[in-house]
Amino acid sequence: MNYIFYILIVVSIIFGAINGTLTDVVNSILTGAELSVKVAFSLIGIMAFWLGMMKIADKSGIIKFIAKIIKPVTKKLFNEIPENSPAIGDIAMAFTANAFGLANAATPIGIKAMEELQKHNENKSSASNAMCMFLAMSTAGFQLVPATVIAVLIGIGYKNPTEIIAPTLLVTSTAFLSAIVLAKVFQRLWKPQQNGKENN
């Protein structure tokens, strides 16, 4: 990625010099750098706020309550996992964090969930159906409140950043449901492997 950005900057400078717009290129670089700092600071504020809200929700039991509500759904999607597995609760909590646009908060929970899912994986050298399902759901990134996107819009001075909520909900819901359906389809097409051999 560093090489890509380096090439883009060098090419921009070269073409700016050729076209006589080098001053505009330099000004754009400086303006972009200033804007990136502003966006970064706005992200710090909004992320600190939402992470604090998540912490309060966790301490007050709201997160566990939400996890308990969606637990039947997670048990249905991850029917290969025992009902008493800690992975079910971790998956529910990761889903809740993602729903509020807190990918940073969901990451450590997701890693913990993957570790728990690996314990139930019969073939340790490849991902299980449950692991693939969880990865697909996490990648789709269903969001009720896109906190990070809202923070970026605030950082660039957008007048009505909350209007992104409705289209984000529509897009992430479609992606989320598509990920679940495709994961289930692929589970039927490719049977799980045990000890490196296909289980017929």
pLDDT (average), residues 130-155 = 80
> In this predicted structure, what is the pLDDT of residue 47?
67
If one compares 194 and 85, the residue with the highest pLDDT of the two is 85
Look-up: residue for tokens 């728990």?
Answer: 116
Residues constituting the chain: 200
If one compares 198 and 120, the residue with the highest pLDDT of the two is 120
Q: Residue 198 to residues 42, 128, 151, 192, 194: CA-CA distances in angstroms?
A: 51, 13, 47, 7, 6
**Per-residue pLDDT at 194 exceeds 60:** no
Query: What pLDDT band is residue 193 in, cutting at 50, 70 and 90?
Result: low
**Per-residue pLDDT at 196 exceeds 50:** no
Listing DSSP states for 28-94 in one string gives HHHHHHHHHHHHHHHHHHHHHHHHHHHHHHHHHTHHHHHHHHHHHHHHHHTTTS-TT-HHHHHHHHH
Contact assessment for residue 116 and residue 85, using Cβ atoms and an 8 Å cutoff: yes
Query: What pLDDT band is residue 5 in, cutting at 50, 70 and 90?
Result: confident
Contact assessment for residue 154 and residue 42, using Cβ atoms and an 8 Å cutoff: yes
Tokens, residue 173 = 């819901």
Quick: pLDDT tens for 20-51: 787 887 888 778 777 777 767 766 776 677 66
> In this predicted structure, what is the pLDDT of residue 48?
73
Q: Residue 68 to residues 35, 88, 90, 159: CA-CA distances in angstroms?
A: 42, 10, 11, 37
Query: What pLDDT band is residue 192 in, cutting at 50, 70 and 90?
Result: low
**Per-residue pLDDT at 116 exceeds 80:** yes
Quick: pLDDT tens for 86-111: 777 778 778 877 777 666 667 777 88
